[in-house]
Amino acid sequence: MVIGLFQSAADAALCLDNLAEADFGPQTVSLVMKTRQEVEAIADVSGPWSDLSVDKLPAKLVGFGLSPEDVAEYEQGVLAGGVFIAISAGEAEDAAAEMLRDARARAIRQIKSV
């Protein structure tokens, strides 16, 4: 799983286009924004974290072993209008992480379940 945070929906939308062109299907991508309506406005995604709300994001990230400081960065980023992204990339994690970097995501991490 590759995760990251975009400052704006426009940056996230650009990355989503690039991910789709690289054959990362909607079932591999999850977004978390302040509201579900905001997510639906920029993407039709159905990844494994797609139903996750911003208030449930911290517990999910702690479950993956992230520190409280790292978790707070993602949560505060979303609450400030950013977009959290999670990509189930399998063997293509490095490529997904590079695409996030190219689209100006921050706090990019490759995480494994614990």
Q: Work out the mean pLDDT of the chain and round it to a whole number.
A: 94
Q: How confident is the model at residue 43 (pLDDT cuts 50, 70, 90)?
A: very high
For residue 46, CA distances in Å to 52, 68, 69, 77, 88 come to 11, 27, 28, 22, 11
Residue 113 is predicted with a pLDDT of 57
For residue 51, CA distances in Å to 17, 18, 35 come to 21, 22, 11
Predicted TM-score (pTM) of this structure: 0.95
Residue 32 has pLDDT above 60, yes or no: yes
Q: Domain residue spans in the chain?
A: 2-110
Q: Whose structure tokens read 């993407």?
A: 43
Residue 112 is predicted with a pLDDT of 82
Residue 114 has pLDDT above 60, yes or no: no
